[in-house]
Structure 1
Amino acid sequence: MNNKKKVIGIVVLVAILAIGIGYAAITTILLKISGTAGATTKQGNFVVRFEGTPTVTKGENLDASVTATATLTDDTNAKFEVAGLTAKGDKVTAKYTIKNASPDLTAKLTVNDPVVENTTYFKATKTVTGLAENNTMELAKDATVEVELTVELIKTPVTDDPVATTVNMSINADPVQP
């Protein structure tokens, strides 16, 4: 009986120790967070536009009858109208301001050469400070640049037929991460 009591006592002691050790062993708990994130483009994050009021400068010795106007039709379109040029060398320049109003993106501007329909009588040139030889430049956020477009009469008209042309110049603005 004594042996039986010893065996029962040992079994009880082992059970108590096993329960105590089982509860005493603290294990690592792994917490996880998982999910996804996405981004999409928003045109409002890239804003390059004409700003302010364009100015017009007439060349030297122009007759008072020469009229010239430069206007903005909206944020991305401008208009330039000249009338009354009479002699070779008569010219008028319009100056426009372009602003990169993007919150954080830089704009790569490509200023294309003006295209003149009537190259017999007219030529058009552009002037942009900071423009590289490849007609590009970077415009940082909140920065502005002035673009000038000059229309010049290169041949004096000698007939009563009206002489006219269309002039078009485009500027491409591409977003660049800063």
Structure 2
Amino acid sequence: MVSEEIDLFGNPYVARPTKRGRPPHEVTKKTRNRVSMLVALGWANPRIAAALGVTLPTLHKYYFYELRQREVARDRLEMRRFEIAWELAEQGNVGAFKEVGKLLERNDRMEIERKMGEETKDEGKPQERVGKKVIDRQRAIDADADLMSELEREASHNVGHC
């Protein structure tokens, strides 16, 4: 029985290559899970390829399905975390039960933020950005109006004293 040595990162260790060029890439369940995890973490394709030690075309060729799941990968990872924590909590693990509570609170916060984001979009047309000149002009108009109202108050106050 030949025991396969692995390096620090869990990859097969090759003492000295016997052939020129790269060895053919072998797809395993472990590498598929790694790609799915890195996609869920938001890694870019070139970074994932570099981490796996493959070229970008090889990554696209063998992991097309995993890369296509980018939109839902984070949600699936969160779902799996919740599922594992729930299973452990049902077995009586107090730490897992606390983690379920944290995950629930986090989920509730995310839902509230999502709803608030939808409400602000629905409130009407987007506000235009106002430049410094427009702001300064409006401040000057407001200052003039304040000054005029103050002068009118003083004038009416002085009329009463005469």
TM-score by length of 2: 0.23
Q: Which has the higher contact order (CA 8 A, sep 6+)?
A: 1
Greater C-alpha Rg:
1
* Structure holding more helix per residue: 2
TM-score by length of 1: 0.22
* Structure holding more strand per residue: 1
